[in-house]
């Protein structure tokens, strides 16, 4: 049994235009409904591209869907001369609950630093969004056995300034970069090891009661076939799913990992 409500989150990345996105979300909602999914027991969220958010909002509101949604990134600024950036203010108005911060693809392809992640987390909070902070090591760091130190440094760099209540509501996704989109999955023991280390670090920065409330997800080639095993770890509170979230039935099966 979980003390924390598990969160199954689907990162669509740069896939699904707004027409495809609506079809995917509709099918996901129907599949979960057919299976009598209890949304209070296992929370389900999707992270579509920015350009799908308005359509997702319309569908969620029109059909009263219990699926939550968020964006894959946000600006650390609120408005102004920042061509191409998207403000947390806009995301909040589109009904987003969550926003990813520091996904490894943002860090690698756009040079996002821990300091920028901290600023983006602050921006998310200014607009009532819950950040899903992504952390995790690359293959070389893992092979050198430095994955825990590396990941905790990313964590500290991004959450250092937060008060206890913000830490408690935060979602942290541990995503070893070598496992993202590669079919290579971290073992359930690896996922649990890092989730426990992240929780211990948050307890150190704040206190154990606060850290006991933070949800910590695993991400990296998660799918229906490995979801239950990954979620056995007592500190693993959910999954951030990329590729497998683009198939409504597969993603719904992941959300129904207990069955
Ligand atoms: C991700 O990018 O967040 C991810 C976990 O991708 P995948 O599931 O495809 O490895």
What value does the mean pLDDT of the chain take? 96
Q: Which of 37, 43, 103, 250 is catalytic?
A: 103
Annotated binding site for substrate: 11-13, 181, 221, 242-243
Q: Please name the CATH architecture into which domain 7-255 falls.
A: Alpha-Beta Barrel (3.20)
**Known catalytic membership, residue 165:** no
Residue (of 175, 128, 125) closest to 150 by Cα position: 175
In this prediction, residues 136-156 reach a mean pLDDT of: 96
In this prediction, residues 194-210 reach a mean pLDDT of: 97
Residue of 10, 219, 236 to test ligand 1 pocket, by largest number of atoms within 8 Å of CB: 219
| Confidence (pLDDT) at 7 | 98
The ligand 1 site (C-beta within 6 Å) comprises 11, 175, 180-181, 219-222, 240-244
Residue of 71, 242, 251 to test ligand 1 pocket, by largest number of atoms within 8 Å of CB: 242
How many whole angstroms separate alpha carbon 141 and alpha carbon 144? 5
| Each residue's pLDDT tens digit, 211-232 | 999 999 999 999 999 999 999 9
> Domain residues of the chain, as ranges?
7-255
Q: What is the residue whose two structure tokens read 């609506």? A: 22
> Confidence class of residue 181 from pLDDT cuts 50, 70 and 90?
confident
User: Which of helix, strand or coil describes residue 256?
Assistant: coil
Closest atom of ligand 1 to 175 CA is: 5
| Confidence (pLDDT) at 1 | 43
Q: What is the residue whose two structure tokens read 């693993």? A: 236
How many whole angstroms separate alpha carbon 227 and alpha carbon 230? 5
Q: Look at residue 148 and tell me whether its pLDDT is greater than 60.
A: yes
In this prediction, residues 12-25 reach a mean pLDDT of: 98
What separation in Å is there between the alpha carbon of 221 and the centre of ligand 1?
Answer: 6
Whether the Cβ atoms of residue 15 and residue 246 lie closer than 8 Å to each other: yes
> Confidence class of residue 259 from pLDDT cuts 50, 70 and 90?
confident
Residue (of 214, 251, 60) closest to 239 by Cα position: 251
**Known catalytic membership, residue 103:** yes
Find all residues with CB under 8 Å of 209, minimum gap 6, and list them. Answer: none
| Confidence (pLDDT) at 2 | 65
Residue (of 221, 259, 254) closest to 238 by Cα position: 254
């Amino acid at each position: 049994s979980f003390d924390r409500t598990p969160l199954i989150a689907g990162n669509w990345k740069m896939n699904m235009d707004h027409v495809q996105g609506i079809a995917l979300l509709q099918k996901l909602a129907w599949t979960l409904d057919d299976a009598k999914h209890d949304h209070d027991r296992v929370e389900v969220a999707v992270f579509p591209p920015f350009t799908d958010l308005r359509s997702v909002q319309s569908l969620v509101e029109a059909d009263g869907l219990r699926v939550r949604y968020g964006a894959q990134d946000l600006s650390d600024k609120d408005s102004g001369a920042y061509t191409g950036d998207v403000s947390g203010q806009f995301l909040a108005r589109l009904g987003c609950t969550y926003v990813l911060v520091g996904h490894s693809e943002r860090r690698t392809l756009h040079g996002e630093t821990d300091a920028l992640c901290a600023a983006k987390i602050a921006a998310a909070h200014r607009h009532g969004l819950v950040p899903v902070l992504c952390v995790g090591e690359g293959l070389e760091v893992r092979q050198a056995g430095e994955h825990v130190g590396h990941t905790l440094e990313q964590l500290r760099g991004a959450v250092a300034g937060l008060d206890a209540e913000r830490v408690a509501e935060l979602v942290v996704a541990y995503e070893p970069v070598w496992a993202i989109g590669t079919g290579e999955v971290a073992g359930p023991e690896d996922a649990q090891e890092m989730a426990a280390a992240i929780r211990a670090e948050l307890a150190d920065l704040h206190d154990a009661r606060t850290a006991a409330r933070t949800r910590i997800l695993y991400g990296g080639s998660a799918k229906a076939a490995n979801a239950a095993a990954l979620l056995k770890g007592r500190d693993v509170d959910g999954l951030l799913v990329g590729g497998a979230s683009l198939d409504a039935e597969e993603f719904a099966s992941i959300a129904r990992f207990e069955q």
